[in-house]
Every structure is written in structure tokens, then in C-alpha cells.
């Protein structure tokens, strides 16, 4: 059967089986850019193909979680959000804006070492020294990706852009990728939550009026905030996907955390939050993640874009699934 990309039940793992690991990010990326007719006038097709294969190669496949598969999945999520909610129309995004968020998704974890910022900072890793302990990995992902874009003319997907468009695109991409730093989650969530109240935005009503009354500079900044919010939502969206897909991602994510925990143990460092394979329960850690992070954010996200209610429906089902496992484990211990 044909796997349809324009679908909230899209299964990236099935897709990977069909087309093979090394083609998954390139083929999905080409599909999405082609869908929005971004090729040739804006992005030279041949250069894009070179670029995206180069990026795919730079993801570490030996990571359980932070790989090009996660990047492809995130790109597909953003693609789906736009198809269902038409955020491009509502936010009046240009082709450059749209291109920026897609490229951001493609590169957002490029070269990820499978260890988090906290680990890099604590071990005084070269990257943490280079980026002064500030959004260490996120800075690294963007910077390395731009090296690929600019180092070889054959990879320069932005070569058709005017200087102004290039500047805008670059600024958007930096903002979006840096916006995936989890330490910024709370600030983002609060900003968007408070705006619902102050601007009286409910189930999408009131959003367009709010945007219409902004001056150009405010509007530009707001668009950037929204792009960064959407990409952050997509980055933590695993619990909002159908259960079989979510379970697979949860397993991989926890495995990557445990590998870091093992390393910390070996180095005699305190083991990071959720990284101790001897004490952490996957169901409990996932419930914590849903309750503290994903559920609040997607509840707010849905007030802006109510057409994405399938995300909350899945979230409820998945929460129930893991809650039942935790209950069962409790009863067994009695």
C-alpha cells in the first residue's frame, strides 16, 4: 500500500523500511519542498539534493534517537500541521519563511553526539567551550549546517536568494534551531499562553485580528516567534502521534538517555535526570514528560490552531496507555 505523507497517522518507521535509511531524509525533504513549489526559482534542485544527502550523512546513525530519522519525522510533522491548520495563510508566511522552517527541521539536530547540553557543559567538552555553555548543541547544529551550505557551491541551496532574502532566511533558521533548546520551553509556553488571554484568542478565533493590528516590525518578530514555537512543538510531538509510533520513539529516546547515564557512571559523574537505567521507569518518565511539557504546550498550540485536535486526541490515548501500565506495576508490587 502507498504510504501517504499528507497524513497525521504517517508512520516514519514503515516509510524507512520501504525506501531505506539513507534516502529517508532526502526523499521526504524533496517531497515537501516540491509540494510547495520551492524548487528552481527559490532553491536550485540539484544543489538541494547534494545538500540534503550531505546533511543526512552527518547525522550519527548509531544514536538510538537523535538521527536523520527524527529530523525527517519532525519535517513531516510540520508539513502536516500546515496542511491541517493552514498556518502559512493565517500567519501570512512568505515562501522564504516556509523554506526556513523546513530547512530548520532538516538540520536541527545535525551532528548530534547523542549526549545532551548538560553533559557537554559538565565534561567541559570543546563544543561547550566554543559556544560558552549557551545552547551548545543548537548553536553547533546551525553553524555546521551553514558550513555545508557555504563551503561548496554545489551545496549552496540559498545561492538564488537576494542578499536581503538570504539574511532573512538565515535569521529565521538560526532562530528556529536555537528555539529547539529545551531550556527555552517554559518561556515559550508562557508567552503563547498569556497571549491567548490578553488577546482573547480561543479556538483560532481572534488570531487574525491580533496579527492585523501589528506594525511591520512587531509582525516580523511575531512570525519568527510562531515559527520557533511550531518547530519546538514538532520536536516534542512524539506523544501526540499514534501509539505504535510513539512507543517506538519513546523506547529510542530513553535508550539514548541511558547510554549517557552509563557514560556518566563510568566517569564518576552524578547521573543526569532520566538517565539512570537502574531507576528510571519508561512509563513513568513518559507520563512526566506528557504532564509537564507536551500536554500544556499542545493545549495552547491547539487554541491557536484548532484543526490540530488530532494531536490532543492521540495524547489522551497515549497518556491512558502509560497510566494503565504504571497502575498495573503498582498493583503487582502490593
Q: Which residues are catalytic?
A: 66
- The number of residues making up the chain comes to 334
- CB burial of residue 272 (10 Å; 0-12, 13-18, 19+): middle
Question: Is the backbone of residue 315 left (phi > 0), alpha (psi -120 to 50) or beta?
Answer: alpha
Instruction: Provide the terminal-to-terminal Cα distance of the chain, rounded to the nearest Å.
Output: 47
Closest residue by Cα to residue 319 from 278, 291, 282: 291
- In degrees and rounded to multiples of 5, residue 10 shows phi and psi of -50, 130
- Residue in this structure with the C-alpha cell 500541521, named with its chain if needed: 81
Instruction: Please check whether residue 188 is in contact with residue 178, taking contact to mean a CB–CB distance below 8 angstroms.
Output: no
Alpha-carbon gap, residue 241 to 262, rounded angstroms: 29
Helix axes 95-107, 68-85, angle to 10 degrees: 150
Long-range contacts formed by 140-143: CB under 8 A, 24+ apart: 140/111, 141/107, 141/108, 141/109, 141/110, 141/111, 141/112, 141/177, 142/107, 142/173, 142/174, 142/177, 142/178
- In degrees and rounded to multiples of 5, residue 262 shows phi and psi of -60, -40
Query: Side-chain half-sphere of 119: how many Cα atoms within 13 Å?
Result: 23
Query: Side-chain half-sphere of 183: how many Cα atoms within 13 Å?
Result: 10
Amino acid at each position: 500500500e502507498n504510504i501517504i505523507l499528507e497524513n497525521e497517522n504517517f508512520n516514519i518507521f514503515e516509510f524507512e523500511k520501504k525506501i531505506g535509511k539513507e534516502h529517508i531524509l532526502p526523499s521526504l525533504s524533496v517531497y515537501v519542498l516540491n509540494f510547495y513549489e520551492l524548487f528552481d526559482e527559490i532553491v536550485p534542485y540539484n544543489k538541494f539534493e547534494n545538500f540534503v544527502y550531505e546533511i543526512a550523512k552527518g547525522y550519527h546513525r548509531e544514536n538510538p534517537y537523535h538521527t536523520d530519522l527524527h529530523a525527517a519525522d519532525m519535517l513531516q510533522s510540520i508539513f502536516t500541521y500546515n496542511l491541517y491548520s493552514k498556518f502559512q495563510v493565517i500567519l501570512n508566511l512568505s515562501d522564504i519563511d516556509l523554506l526556513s522552517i523546513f530547512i530548520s527541521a532538516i538540520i536541527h539536530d545535525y551532528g548530534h553526539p547523542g549526549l545532551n547540553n548538560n553533559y557537554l557543559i559538565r565534561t567541559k567538552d570543546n563544543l561547550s567551550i566554543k559556544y560558552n555553555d549557551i545552547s551548545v548543541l543548537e548553536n553547533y547544529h546551525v553553524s555546521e549546517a551553514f558550513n555545508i551550505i557555504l563551503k561548496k557551491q554545489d551545496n549552496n541551496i540559498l545561492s538564488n536568494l537576494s542578499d536581503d532574502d538570504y539574511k532573512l532566511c538565515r535569521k529565521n533558521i538560526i532562530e528556529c534551531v536555537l528555539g529547539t533548546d529545551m531550556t527555552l520551553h517554559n518561556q515559550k509556553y508562557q508567552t503563547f499562553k498569556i497571549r491567548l488571554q490578553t488577546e482573547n484568542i480561543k479556538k483560532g478565533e481572534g488570531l487574525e485580528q491580533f496579527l492585523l493590528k501589528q506594525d511591520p516590525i512587531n509582525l516580523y518578530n511575531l512570525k519568527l516567534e510562531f515559527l520557533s514555537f511550531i518547530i519546538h512543538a514538532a520536536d516534542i510531538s512524539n506523544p501526540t502521534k499514534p501509539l505504535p509510533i510513539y512507543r517506538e520513539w519513546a523506547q529510542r529516546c530513553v535508550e539514548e538517555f541511558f547510554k549517557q547515564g552509563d557514560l556518566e557512571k563510568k566517569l564518576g559523574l552524578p547521573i543526569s535526570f532520566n538517565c539512570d537505567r537502574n531507576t528510571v521507569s519508561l512509563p513513568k518518565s513518559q507520563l512526566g514528560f506528557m504532564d509537564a511539557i507536551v500536554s500544556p504546550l499542545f493545549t495552547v498550540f491547539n487554541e491557536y490552531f484548532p484543526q490540530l485536535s488530532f494531536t490532543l486526541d492521540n495524547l489522551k490515548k497515549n497518556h491512558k496507555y502509560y497510566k494503565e501500565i504504571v497502575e498495573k506495576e503498582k498493583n503487582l508490587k502490593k
